[in-house]
Structure 1
Amino acid sequence: MTRVDILTLSISIHSNLKVLSDQFNGPSNFKIRNLNVGVNPKIEAAIFYIDGITNTQNIQENILTPLLKMTRMENVESVIKDHLSIIDVTVEDSIVEIVTGLTKGKCLVLIDGYNQGILADVSNWQTKSLSEPDTQRTIKGSMVGFNEQLKVNLNLLQNLIQTQKLKIELYHIGIESKTDVALLYIDGYVDEKVLKEVKRKIKSIDVTYLLEARVIEDALEERKTLFPLVFTSERPDVTVSALYEGRVVIIVNGLPFVLIVPCLFIHYFQQPDEYNSKAGRFGSRIFRLFSWILALILPAIFIAITRFHSSWFPSSLDKKLLTSSDTLMPFVMEVLFILFIFQSLLEATLRIPKNTTLLVTLIGTITIGETAVFAKIIHPLTMIVVGVNFLTSMHIASGGLWGALNLLRIVFVFIGNFLGVTGILIGFLLLIAYMATLKSIGVPYLSPFIPLSLREMKDVIFRGDLRTLINSKHTYYHKGNKRK
């Protein structure tokens, strides 16, 4: 489809037919149904629609049949009021709006002698049934996740938030192909500064088309960084909680997840299970934070100890496990090699057909776990350290920190290899200082730790009392003022 200049309909139906046919370049699924309306005199009319994305039975029963029975008309508006039994109907004269409407599953009714057309929503998009989300799975709680249809996702959220304070604003992003994007917030709860900034950034997006939410994430992020500054979720219950916390939600049509801002570092360690059951209220987040630290620096500490600090251990243990290794490669190369193999296995299980995942996993396990150790290519202790490191990294993989963790882990391995434990400690402190400079839509990434807010610590390290959390209002720190 070619780009459309700003044009309007003419009063000639034949001229309008030619213009619309040129815009769609005559595809076989662009259908035109010619008919005559009225009795004396009869007036030429036509119904335009794209086959495959419209409900033809709906067109037949609620548009075509009433038009054929119509005996008289005063204007286009009277046709809508007196004859068409369709809920979503508008009068349009802009070619741009008409073409956009047709590509979204609407049908167009044109009547000769009128420079306005009737756009009726008769879309019939194919959808998959609701299913359990792949990430942030929970033992007890909601088992429903978002799917690719914007209307279905909005329906799920509106079912959970039954209040008139829920506001939904629709945007159409893209020059050539316009994608529906919904912005949601709860009036009276939302952080107004965040909302204003999100609207400004979304309106500034200028792209030919929009297929991935990453385009919106790039627009929302303050600067380029390894750490995700926009939280993503496949769960409606997590999204509802975020809305009541004063955050803003963005939904892109065609994607089975939502974007949530502002995004704080601590959000990646909060899981739905903590709010659906009693277990894990006091220890789960500390466990995940500790797992993240281990996933980040455990291989680096192992390398540093083998190179510089083996004297910390008894001589018998040092000689057996650290200094008398008879493997083919030095410890640092072993660690990097196993990390590479584990990453390759992970990529393979994600890309290959599901029915071959078990086979690939077994081959990887036999190759690494038994053959490599038996052939003295890999030291057993190295295998244990990297295995524990990989498992701990899985605890927060679904949250979105996986990409940053993969690169930083390698950086710390080299720091440990050349600078020892002291270098690792300095590097970790510099990392925290860097994270403290990050902001998500103006809100500090490490808040409420940096800057410290005791008032907001009620749901950070430990999950607070649910009744207190539900009845309390979240506030976010902004530069230039203490609180919203």
Structure 2
Amino acid sequence: MNNLVQTTLTISLEKNINHLKEQFNHSSDLKIRQLTVNDEVIRDAAILYLDGIANTQNIQDNILSPLLRIIKFDNIDAVITRHLSIVDVAKIGDFNEVLAGLSSGKTLVLIDGYKEGILADTADWQKRSITEPDTQRSVKGSMIGFTEQLKVNVNLLRNMTQTHKLGVENIQVGNETKTDVSILFMEDFVDEKVLVETRQKIKEIDVTYLLEARVIEDALEGRKTLFPLAFTCERPDVTVSALFEGRVAILVNGTPYSIIVPTLFLHYFQQPDEYNTKSGRYGNRMLRFFSWILSIMLLGLYVTMVRFHHNWVPHKFVKSFFKESDTVFPTLMEVFFVLLLFQLLVEASLRIPKATVIIVSLIGAIVVGQTAVSAKLIHPLTLIIVGINFLASIAIAAGGLYGTSLTLRAIFLFWGFFFGLKGLIVGMVALIIYMASLKSLGVPYLAPFIPFRPKEMKDVLFRGDLRKLINSKHTYPHKK
């Protein structure tokens, strides 16, 4: 058989090994352990694995040692059932499956004279320990966050649910590099239409490789929108709660968070603290809704007031704030300058060592900001207003809504500057109409507000009674 078109293993051990070497570009980490096994005749054999991702001690104890002790065997099946003391093991003949198995940390056993091999799972992937979530922290309650290892994340969810009704469907995405993706749902709770559509959209993904879960999010969202239609969550407890609400969770190997669908707008304002503590049951969620409004509207209202509505401010402040303002830049440029400063601080904080984040923040916020005010580049009120807007944006950043607020505040800023209060009102009406047209896997984005569903309002504007929430079954309206 020509090695260039070889699609299955052959009975020649030498040809199989040579073809594998070629496929792995004679990589030095492809290790080959030659040996002989006893049959009616002594046969040559080989154990192949990738050094660094396969557990050599496991190979030594459960594969190599048993093979060397073989006195006689009838076929490959006999080797698997009688000799190899390893749990995950299978007979294999397809060459593509062999390559995928070796690349995922499995060990291949080849025996001369047999056109099938044995793949045993000996993967020993490096992983970090379980830590607290970075952005979705809670004062009280679970302190566990997801890791980059898919099996570890599934284990965390299994540990929290401990029920046979938790379904896990494994799918591989990628043409060249196969990435494991798990779809999780709770039987008897899950919305079947959402589950079917989720499964279909993920299976239709056609990419060369998948290294980031954003590809999955794009596929589930379906079309480009200003709003995220798939919720990202770093917490296993929040994910479990979503599963019992009838939603579907997706885990991607290498990504330390889950993707939850369907996603409603209200989900971005529900935080773990509300369910773990008594305080904040009524006020915290309303504060986040108010923060959302501030994050997109405050700058537009500010420039509107400066240009068109001085009467909103007491007369004694109008003179010092607006009429005699002696700053170099006009108000719109002042706002953009401060926004740029804050955004640079965010970018710098992500790119530098953590130990220097505080120093950079002090330099940016105090030195640059204060100097800009003293040099009459920006008005002190502009600095305060943009600072409040920035804090309001951070307050609703969890889950993926932060990027949306950045875009919308720029849109409302221009509408307020050029069209005043009427422009802001028209813009808000247009935004609500746009949001009402969005659907997350067929579920209206603004439900249960639009369409209005009073039975689902028990956990919207405030957190309802926990026992009633736990015992009630959630349903989702579907629109084509």
TM-score normalised to structure 1 length: 0.97
Q: How does 1:240-255 map to 2 (within 5 A)?
A: 240-255=240-255
Alpha-carbon distance change, 102 to 475 in structure 1, aligned in 2, over 3 angstroms: same
Structure 1 unaligned residues grouped into runs of 5+: none
Percent sequence identity is 59
User: Aligned residue for 1:353?
Assistant: 353
Q: How does 1:225-240 map to 2 (within 5 A)?
A: 225-240=225-240
**How far apart are the structure 1 equivalents of 2:245 and 2:314?**
52
User: Aligned residue for 2:417?
Assistant: 417
**How far apart are the structure 2 equivalents of 1:94 and 1:5?**
12
Alpha-carbon distance change, 124 to 5 in structure 1, aligned in 2, over 3 angstroms: farther
Q: How does 1:432-451 map to 2 (within 5 A)?
A: 432-451=432-451
**How far apart are the structure 2 equivalents of 1:435 and 1:367?**
40
- Give the residue type in structure 2 aligned to 1:463: R
**How far apart are the structure 1 equivalents of 2:287 and 2:316?**
32
**How far apart are the structure 2 equivalents of 1:242 and 1:412?**
33
1:421 shift after superposition: 1.1
User: Aligned residue for 1:306?
Assistant: 306
Q: How does 1:121-132 map to 2 (within 5 A)?
A: 121-132=121-132
2:168 counterpart of 1:168: yes
User: Aligned residue for 2:320?
Assistant: 320
Q: How does 1:353-372 map to 2 (within 5 A)?
A: 353-372=353-372
2:183 counterpart of 1:188: no
Structure 2 unaligned residues grouped into runs of 5+: none
User: Aligned residue for 1:208?
Assistant: 208
1:40 shift after superposition: 4.4
The secondary structure found in structure 2 opposite 1:27 is coil
In 2, are the aligned partners of 1:247 and 1:262 still within 8 Å (CA)? Answer: yes
- Give the residue type in structure 2 aligned to 1:259: I
1:329 shift after superposition: 1.5
Q: How does 1:217-228 map to 2 (within 5 A)?
A: 217-228=217-228
Question: Structure 1 runs of 4+ off > 6 angstroms?
Answer: 3-6
User: Aligned residue for 1:453?
Assistant: 453
User: Aligned residue for 2:333?
Assistant: 333
2:161 counterpart of 1:157: no
2:396 counterpart of 1:396: yes
Aligned residues: 478
In 2, are the aligned partners of 1:4 and 1:96 still within 8 Å (CA)? Answer: no
In 2, are the aligned partners of 1:310 and 1:323 still within 8 Å (CA)? Answer: no
In 2, are the aligned partners of 1:4 and 1:95 still within 8 Å (CA)? Answer: no
**How far apart are the structure 1 equivalents of 2:379 and 2:284?**
32
**How far apart are the structure 1 equivalents of 2:313 and 2:346?**
34
**How far apart are the structure 2 equivalents of 1:463 and 1:62?**
53
**How far apart are the structure 2 equivalents of 1:452 and 1:221?**
23
- Give the residue type in structure 1 aligned to 2:105: G
Alpha-carbon distance change, 314 to 358 in structure 1, aligned in 2, over 3 angstroms: closer
The secondary structure found in structure 1 opposite 2:134 is coil
**How far apart are the structure 2 equivalents of 1:313 and 1:254?**
53
- Give the residue type in structure 1 aligned to 2:243: L
- Give the residue type in structure 2 aligned to 1:80: I
User: Aligned residue for 1:114?
Assistant: 114
The secondary structure found in structure 2 opposite 1:255 is coil
1:462 shift after superposition: 0.9
The secondary structure found in structure 2 opposite 1:399 is coil
1:315 shift after superposition: 2.4
After superposition, give the CA deviation of every residue in 1:71-123 in whole Å (9 maximum; x if it has no partner): 00011111111111000001111001111010000001111121111100001
**How far apart are the structure 2 equivalents of 1:64 and 1:90?**
16
User: Aligned residue for 1:71?
Assistant: 71
- Give the residue type in structure 1 aligned to 2:296: L
2:96 counterpart of 1:96: yes
User: Aligned residue for 2:19?
Assistant: 19
In 1, are the aligned partners of 2:39 and 2:73 still within 8 Å (CA)? Answer: no
**How far apart are the structure 2 equivalents of 1:157 and 1:436?**
33
The secondary structure found in structure 2 opposite 1:398 is coil
**How far apart are the structure 1 equivalents of 2:43 and 2:101?**
24
Alpha-carbon distance change, 23 to 71 in structure 1, aligned in 2, over 3 angstroms: same
Alpha-carbon distance change, 99 to 319 in structure 1, aligned in 2, over 3 angstroms: same
1:367 shift after superposition: 2.9
**How far apart are the structure 1 equivalents of 2:201 and 2:287?**
36
The secondary structure found in structure 2 opposite 1:119 is strand
Bigger Cα displacement from structure 2, 362-371 vs 349-358: 362-371
After superposition, give the CA deviation of every residue in 1:423-472 in whole Å (9 maximum; x if it has no partner): 11110111111011111111111111111111111111111111111111
1:314 shift after superposition: 3.2
1:323 shift after superposition: 2.1
Bigger Cα displacement from structure 2, 362-371 vs 51-60: 362-371
**How far apart are the structure 2 equivalents of 1:449 and 1:344?**
37
The secondary structure found in structure 2 opposite 1:62 is helix
2:473 counterpart of 1:473: yes
